[in-house]
A and B are shown apart, each in its own frame.
Chain A
């Protein structure tokens, strides 16, 4: 599955996207977060405070309890500031 990071989250993780295999026992975004946070110190920093993080699964807004499966695109980003 493809994981995307934007804005300051991308700066912390050091990558805009990464391919991973759905870890065993992961069925929601919340389940996935600890696996991603363990990838590097930067990942841990980016995902430290989930209150400041938004999630989109396959380009649709989701939440921590959104179900995910292998092949999904999961994007993490800060609250938006366009306009």
Chain B
């Protein structure tokens, strides 16, 4: 069955279930355009965060979907996008498991690259998710990073 590529309802998925980036790219291909850009976020392995056992993601059901949809709507106004897909997992995730997928389809590469980057930068600072890291020395909430706010500044349009 061919799923609609432009339906707003299909743009965002928040789930405990894993996703397959390859399958998502195939769905974006149905938009029939010349460029697809994707980003996959993955739970870091031990080398980056010593002793990391798992990461638990909590979110604000309802507001999360609404915020991500609003980010996608802004991206669609800014770039000529044929299809967009954002998937974010919640619950307990182990190192190397998928966390987030952003895919954008457009006629040209720059729109696809830029919109995917824009969506990720906004998602990181606006979408209500919180990560708690479980390590061998205990569990703690991840603190927000100032660099994520700085990343947003490059998207401010000149007035």
A residues apposed to B, CB below 8 Å: 4, 6-8, 56, 59, 61, 75, 77-83
- A83 lies within 8 A of B129 (CB): yes
A-B contact number at CB 8 A: 64
Residues of B within 8 A of A8 (CB): 141
CB pair A59 B62 closer than 8 Å: yes
Query: Is B129 in contact with A82, judged by CB distance below 8 angstroms?
Result: yes
Q: Given A79-B144, A81-B129, A81-B144, is A7 in contact with B58 using a C-beta cutoff of 8 Å?
A: yes
If A7-B130, A7-B132, A8-B141 touch, does A82 touch B124 (CB 8 Å cutoff)? yes
Give a binary string over B33-65; 1 marks a CB under 8 Å from any A CB, 0 the rest: 000000001000000000000000111101100
Instruction: Determine whether the beta carbon of B60 is less than 8 Å from that of A82.
Output: no
B95 beta carbon closer than 8 Å to chain A: no
Residues on B with C-beta less than 8 A from A61 are 126
Main secondary structure of the interface of B (DSSP, over half): mixed
Q: Which residue of B lies closest to A56 (CB)?
A: B63
Complex CA gap A56/B64 in Å reads 11
Q: Which 5 A-B pairs have the closest CB atoms?
A: A82-B129, A79-B144, A7-B130, A83-B124, A59-B63
User: Size class of B's contact patch?
Assistant: 20 to 34
Asked if A77 contacts B88 (CB within 8 A), the reply is no
Are B127 and A80 in contact (CB-based, < 8 A)? Answer: yes
Distance in angstroms from A50 CB to nearest chain B CB is: 15
* Contacting pair B142 A81 (CB below 8 A): yes
Q: Within the complex, which residue of A56, A59, A75, A80 is in contact with B130, where a contact is CB–CB below 8 Å?
A: A80
7 new A-B pairs (CB below 8 Å) besides A6-B130, A78-B144, A80-B128?
A: A7-B132, A7-B141, A59-B60, A81-B143, A81-B145, A82-B128, A83-B129
